[in-house]
Amino acid sequence: MRLSVAGGRDSTTRTVLTALGIAFGVAMLLLASSIPTARHHRDERIHQRIDHNLSRHPVHASQHTVLISDIDTVFRGEAVRGRLVEPEGPRAPLPPGLDHYPRPGEMIVSPALAELLDKPGNGLLRERLDHPVVGSVADEGLLGPSEYVFFLGAEGMADGTAGARRLDHFGKYYPRKPLDPALALLTVAGSVALLAPVAVFLAAAARFGGERRDRRLAAMRLIGADRTMTARIAAGEALASSLLGTLAGAALFLAGRQLAENVNFQGLSFFVADLTPEPALAALVVLVVPGLSLVVTRLAMDKVMVEPLGVVRGTGRNKRRLWWRVALPILGLALLQTSLTKSVPGQNAVAFTAVIVGMLALLIGVTVVLPWLLERLAELAGGRGPVSWQLAIRRMRMSSEASTRPVNGIVVAVAGAIALQILFTGTTAGDAGGREPARGHGAAPRTEAGVAQLTGDSGRPGRYAQSFSSTPGVRSAVGVAELSVMRAHDGYFSQTVLVADCAHLRLLADLATCTETDAFLLVPPGTGGQHDLTTWTPGTLMRVGGDAEAARWRVPRITSTVGVPERSPLRDLSERTLLATPRAAGAAVLTHATTSVRITYDKGQPDVQDLIRTAGARMDPRFSVVFPARAKGDLALAGIQRALLAGVAVVLLLIAASMLISALEQIRERKRLLAVLMAFGTRRRTLGCSVLWQTMVPVVVGLVIAALVGTVLGSALLGTVGRTAGVDWEYMLAMCGLGLAAVVLVTLLTLPTLWRSTRSDGLRYE
């Protein structure tokens, strides 16, 4: 171990580079081992702040109760959690994160929301939440440091009116439930796909500087060391670097952990205390990383014959065997296809283990097939092509291990990312069910629709609509009274009734005639599919809302079936809806209706959605404004793909760093040879291109294998949950593009070192 730092500057540099590579891998593993703790803390905070009465017993007003109502909002795509609160006594329970209730008209906000309100350019949000701030929400009441939360004091609230509910405590704990098979499969597959490249990276980092180390061991054989002693010396050097790297990785993780609260990815953030590794997992990392470096060093020594007069490596006479390399991915595929036919992860330990072993076998199979394939390619391509190509091929034939070792991490990362993309696509497409709202053929391309609702107030929809109409960007606003009904005896599916006078109904539908007693069945284009379960039969008894004891209502006589005009706010509906005049609906049922304003707006107007939300909040903070998104499943999948792309980019950046270190080390190893080539008249451009070919060829070959293995793996995983695969070729090309970009970046960064190595003083030799 002492020799790792006692051999001069070269030994110290080699040890530091190896330790640095291992440190990055250890930091990532410690971060992964913190996920269970972070999830547990987040679940605890979710349970503690539940503010719904989930018991069957009603809560009566007392000194220990509080009235609360949801007033959530959205600002420029960011969700803001809001609660309207009115304590009914001095001993009313406090929600987590508050030490007192705000007075009516006052507001307590989270630190992130306070910062957002103070930022320049957020005047719309300040106008929407135009209340004095009198306190800050503590960490106990937040899911993360970047969550936007506020509590607004109120008075005059009534239980059961306008969405208000009475509580005598906060929090509710649930027993842990088994994951849905598809979600369990996503969890297992995602963990393996993201951690396998880290393991490959650690194995590559343990072999940094391997060639120079082997030559030094040959010198030690010359002064009397035997084979066993040289093996112990190699193991000691590897152990020293891995232990130093483990300590540095722990320090790097602790330093990065302090910055966790400044990171916000798509609304997800963590407190510093959340990123605490599980003790058992942290101990496993500390034990496995040095053990992995010893195993890698031992396997590498088997392929090298260290003799007193030099180092002899495997030559073309000992060709690599293919059968066991192909057997490994075939074994993984067989495990996924057979062991999981009737069970999936989350249901039993056998299926859980089978998925992990099968995925690892397929992904590691990429790394063992790549050297064989690269060797065959080098044999076929040798002797032909430009000088730069021949130099690169010659180098790969002499040391294919050194050429593929830094590339293996990129190949495994891309293969895992493609498999996850196929898995995400299959599961999301199955959940979305293709429910894309239909729209009219002649709908204006620059307009979108939205809905503003105010629960418990059905008497002034026209007045509210008029206020929304004056908002910049709003094309039209139609106020109606909205009812949610379902069949009285066997109904489980909610259906919608919109009540307004004839003048407003004409703005929603194509009506030939309309009287005060008419009702119309609105049928938007494309309805009648599996997702449209509405049934409208005159005289059918319905109940208003989902409560079994709710008021009863009969479907009135339907005058006619009508269509949707191209500029109607209802053009995006995906189910049949009943339109009724007040007399046709009945005055009694209107007391249970909700104010609903159907809005069409110009999507080209800057911040138009926030302008509409602000207009609603100025009239009443309880206004809920929703903008239904088309192809919701596709949008969710796009978010997952962006997250996965970002994660893979981070892993590729880490592996690109290892490739850079490995490339620089190889240039240093060949410094004298490069100087000789330069002295014989080789152009710098030729040497630079040879470095590019030497790095790019293994990556291109590896990416082809990664695309094949990733597609097979993703299809096999989807087959375990009974779904078919679909490949997003654009996403696959993006993954491969990231890998190629890493190659180009590494090559450009190695050029300065390459030019220095070709100077004439490199011809000196001691």
Greatest distance between any 2 Cα atoms in the chain: 110
Strands 78-87 and 304-307: unpaired
Better-predicted residue by pLDDT, 243 or 749:
243
> Does the pLDDT value for residue 740 go beyond 50?
yes
Better-predicted residue by pLDDT, 237 or 555:
555
Token code pair at residue 630: 């088309």
DSSP 618-683: HH-TT-EEE-PPSSHHHHHHHHHHHHHHHHHHHHHHHHHHHHHHHHHHHHHHTHHHHHHHHHTT--
* Of residues 610, 200, 499, 532, the one with CA closest to residue 364: 200
Distance CA 375, CA 385 (A): 17
Model confidence over 72-115: pLDDT tens digits? 999 988 889 999 999 999 999 999 999 999 999 999 999 999 99
* Of residues 444, 534, 463, the one with CA closest to residue 492: 534
DSSP 466-481: HHHHTSTTEEEEEEEE
Q: Per-residue confidence at 431, pLDDT binned at 50, 70, 90?
A: very low
- Amino acid at site 406: P
DSSP code of residue 278 = -
Sequence-distant (6+) residues with CB within 8 A of 513 are none
Distance CA 369, CA 330 (A): 12
Q: Per-residue confidence at 335, pLDDT binned at 50, 70, 90?
A: confident
Neighbours of 399 (CB within 10 A): 16
- Amino acid at site 424: F
Beta strands in 371-427 (DSSP E): none
Q: Per-residue confidence at 436, pLDDT binned at 50, 70, 90?
A: very low
Mean predicted confidence (pLDDT) in 466-489: 90
Q: Per-residue confidence at 413, pLDDT binned at 50, 70, 90?
A: confident
CB contact at 8 A, 28 and 197: no
Mean predicted confidence (pLDDT) in 615-640: 70
Distance CA 269, CA 38 (A): 10
In angstroms, what CA-CA distances link 300 with 69, 204, 303? 66, 11, 5
Q: Is the dihedral of CA 509, 515, 516, 520 positive or negative?
A: negative
Beta bridge partner(s), residue 552: 543
Sequence-distant (6+) residues with CB within 8 A of 392 are 690, 691, 693, 694, 697
Least confident residue range of 10-19, 120-129, 299-308: 299-308
Distance CA 596, CA 312 (A): 82
pLDDT in the model for residue 648: 66
Better-predicted residue by pLDDT, 540 or 346:
540
Sequence-distant (6+) residues with CB within 8 A of 506 are 514
pTM score: 0.75
Domain residue limits, the chain: 1-49+204-308, 62-167, 314-434+631-766, 447-630
For helices 227-257 and 210-222, give the axis angle rounded to 10 degrees. Answer: 150
Distance CA 244, CA 15 (A): 9
* Of residues 232, 233, 247, 336, the one with CA closest to residue 289: 247
Token code pair at residue 576: 């049949």
- Amino acid at site 345: P
Residue with tokens 């892993």: 651
Better-predicted residue by pLDDT, 448 or 630:
448
Beta bridge partner(s), residue 481: 499, 595
Cα angle 642, 448, 473; round to 5: 110
Helices of type H across 49-180: 111-118, 123-128
Mean predicted confidence (pLDDT) in 661-688: 79
CB contact at 8 A, 112 and 146: yes
Distance CA 616, CA 153 (A): 18
CA 8 to chain CA centroid, Å, is 46
Model confidence over 189-218: pLDDT tens digits? 767 776 777 777 777 777 666 666 777 777
Q: Per-residue confidence at 265, pLDDT binned at 50, 70, 90?
A: low
CA 331 to chain CA centroid, Å, is 30
CB contact at 8 A, 290 and 23: no
CB contact at 8 A, 438 and 526: yes
In angstroms, what CA-CA distances link 636 with 145, 425, 585, 609? 24, 10, 38, 20
Sequence-distant (6+) residues with CB within 8 A of 653 are 742
Mean predicted confidence (pLDDT) in 742-751: 78
pLDDT in the model for residue 283: 92
Phi, psi of 720 (to 5 degrees): -70, -20
Token code pair at residue 637: 């999948």
Q: Is the dihedral of CA 92, 95, 96, 101 positive or negative?
A: negative
